[in-house]
Chain A
């Protein structure tokens, strides 16, 4: 078909009742990133060319050990490309946690936070996954049944829950409404 446009990009969007700054902090500050999704401690050097690292959580390390898979200290790394707090953050992004994703190299990740009506913000996550089919599967939630977590949709659902209700849904000890 001549109109085919192949794209390896994934786009995720969630509406969150929170300020742009609160969402920005939840993405960039380690004390927040430890509280939802994969609960990795994030370390951003927030300037163009600055380093981004996400560290394995204790649960991740324990899970890896139990399954005989060595988990590296740094599970995701990248370089900050564009910073416009609290509205836009662009980084390169490489998953080191999964031995099959790591050799696919760096992809590109963009966070965009826009205010809408009624104190609600629109968070859009765009992951450009050219030449990274394995990572596309992981972040697309395709390996959730194998214990790899539910990817971006799962992370963003949890982030919304944390910011709106003060508690994530997916944490082992978290409460459900």
Chain B
């Protein structure tokens, strides 16, 4: 599985997207905090966080005695730059071409 596969797989789950949204709202949370937002066992939440970490979407950092979870947006940015940009750009230029065609190419 390559990096993109791991990102798409990690994002293909509502609980994991919920966890990312929570970190987006406020970054640097403990497992206990994240767990309190979900109707799920601690073990279940840990499993989801592990998949997010393996995809690089969550990075952990020790602060004092606590392990804090941070949202890392870089993999999503890479997917955006690699995939989304490419296709949206093509649509925009296709529309521009169409406009040029329809308007008689007189420009």
Contact = CB atoms under 8 A, between A and B. Distances in A.
A176 B86 contact: yes
Nearest to A156: B74
Interface in A145-177: 150, 152-154, 156-158, 160-161, 169-170, 176
A1 interface: yes
A14 B74 contact: yes
Interface residues of A, number: 28
On chain B, which size bracket covers the interface? 20 to 34
Interface stretch (B13-21, B28-36, B40-48): B28-36
Given A11-B61, A176-B86, A5 B68 contact: yes
Interface in A119-167: 124, 126, 141, 150, 152-154, 156-158, 160-161
Nearest to A11: B70
B78 interface: yes
Given A15-B3, A141-B73, A157-B78, A9 B27 contact: yes
A9 B70 contact: yes
Contacts of A156: 74, 77
B81 interface: yes
Given A11-B61, A153-B73, A176-B86, A3 B68 contact: no
Nearest to A136: B27
